[in-house]
Structure 1
Amino acid sequence: MEQIIPIISEVGFPIVVTLYLLYRIEAKLDMVVQSIQSLPDRMREQMK
């Protein structure tokens, strides 16, 4: 048990930072997916 506590304190912060960054990237990826999905409609409008 005494060996686990230092590992958690050393690894805990990077895990939290990683999860935060993944959350932010997910939101931006959702915006990219929406843009890509709306692209064909925009292209059809410009072709008219």
Structure 2
Amino acid sequence: MADWLPLISDFGFPAAVTLFLLYRIEAKLDQVIRSIETMAAKMEQP
């Protein structure tokens, strides 16, 4: 168990930050996808 504590302290924080940033980027990508779909629909209209 003592061998795991340094690993958790070394990689736990970076892993948490990475997961948080991926979650935020996912929301922004969804917004970009909706914008592109809206733009494509507007371009198809005469």
Q: TM-score, normalised by structure 1?
A: 0.82
Q: Is residue 2:12 matched to residue 1:12?
A: yes
How far apart in 2 are the matches of 1:41 and 1:11? Answer: 45
| Alignment deviations for residues 4-41 of structure 1 (CA, whole Å, 9 cap, x no partner) | 11100110000010011001100100011101111222
Mark the runs of 5 or more structure 1 residues left unpaired by the alignment.
none
**TM-score where L is the length of structure 2:** 0.85
Q: What's 2:35 paired with?
A: 35
- Bigger radius of gyration among the two: 1
Residue ranges of structure 2 left out of the alignment (5+ in a row): none
Number of aligned positions between the proteins: 46
State the Cα RMSD in Å. Answer: 1.1
